[in-house]
Amino acid sequence: MSKEYSYFKRKSAMSWARFVSLQGKKNRMTRFNIYLTQDMYTPTLAHRLLTNIVKGDHLYGGWLRLNFGIFQRSAHALEHTSFSIGMVGPASLAGPTQNLIHTWGHDPKFLGWNTQIKNEFIFEFNYTWIQKLDFYKSRYFSIDMLPAASFSLGNALTNFNLGATLRMGYNLEADFGPNEIHSGFPGGEPYSNRLAFYVFVGAMGQFQPLDVFVQGNDAQTRGITQLPYFLYNAQVGVALLYKGMRFCFSAIDLSKTFRDQSRNHNIGSIELDIAF
């Protein structure tokens, strides 16, 4: 993640970045991010020893991708425009990576990686808009809401998301919210060195017509389980920020990602960001 730059009024070799925005002539700050991501998907733990595909359970799958993005921040809006290129299937190296991690942690291994989805090149385009609405503002206590919309278009995932986060605390001007797992709304990095503290609660609804990790991508993996087209998540948490650092803990409830899943995911998330 880069530091923030202002290309609005000064000329630079990177001034083109100010046009990657829907905010028009608003004065804003620009930040670039490049990162590598690897995702892993397996059936339930009860089926970890099976080497054949289990009807009604999640498929084995991995996704290795390189992401390129641009954050555009104005006084009351944050945009994130990004694209990624990568591979799903054995070329993602998800199986060897999981086996290595489980060996280090002395955890049970999953033996059915030979049945994972096939190799496929993946391109994804993503866009997010987060708006900041001030409800109450004073020196030591403020309340705001962050309504957001985002979408992803690609041959791995295609989805459309709407949601909002309510925050209460001190110095809410320090960021646009945390980077929640599976929220679809990256809040970027802190942009203030001042102390900030807030509690938050949020929810998101998602329409998802395509998820290759549930629907499969060849004759062997298609039709094994069904994709629920409408998903949601809800989260509650607390964040502490100081001098460009953010520590956040949140509890998240994720709806079922495939129809035969026995129950929702309930997870805890810890986030530590350091912005220079």
* pLDDT beyond 90 at 8: no
Question: So what's the pLDDT on residue 183?
Answer: 66
Q: How far apart are CA 268 and CA 276, in angstroms?
A: 27
pLDDT digits (tens, 9 = 90+) for 85-105: 999 999 999 999 999 999 999
The helix (H) or strand (E) run that includes residue 101 is helix 94-105
CATH topology of domain 15-274: Lipocalin (2.40.128)
Confidence of residue 13 (pLDDT cuts 50, 70, 90): low
Q: How far apart are CA 260 and CA 51, in angstroms?
A: 20
pLDDT digits (tens, 9 = 90+) for 105-141: 999 999 999 999 999 999 999 999 999 999 999 989 9
Question: So what's the pLDDT on residue 43?
Answer: 94
Contact 159, 125 (CB under 8 A): no
Whole-prediction pTM value?
Answer: 0.90
Confidence of residue 272 (pLDDT cuts 50, 70, 90): confident
Query: Where is average pLDDT lowest: 17-26, 28-37, 218-227?
Result: 17-26
The backbone torsions φ and ψ at residue 100, rounded to the nearest 5 degrees and listed phi first, read: -65, -45
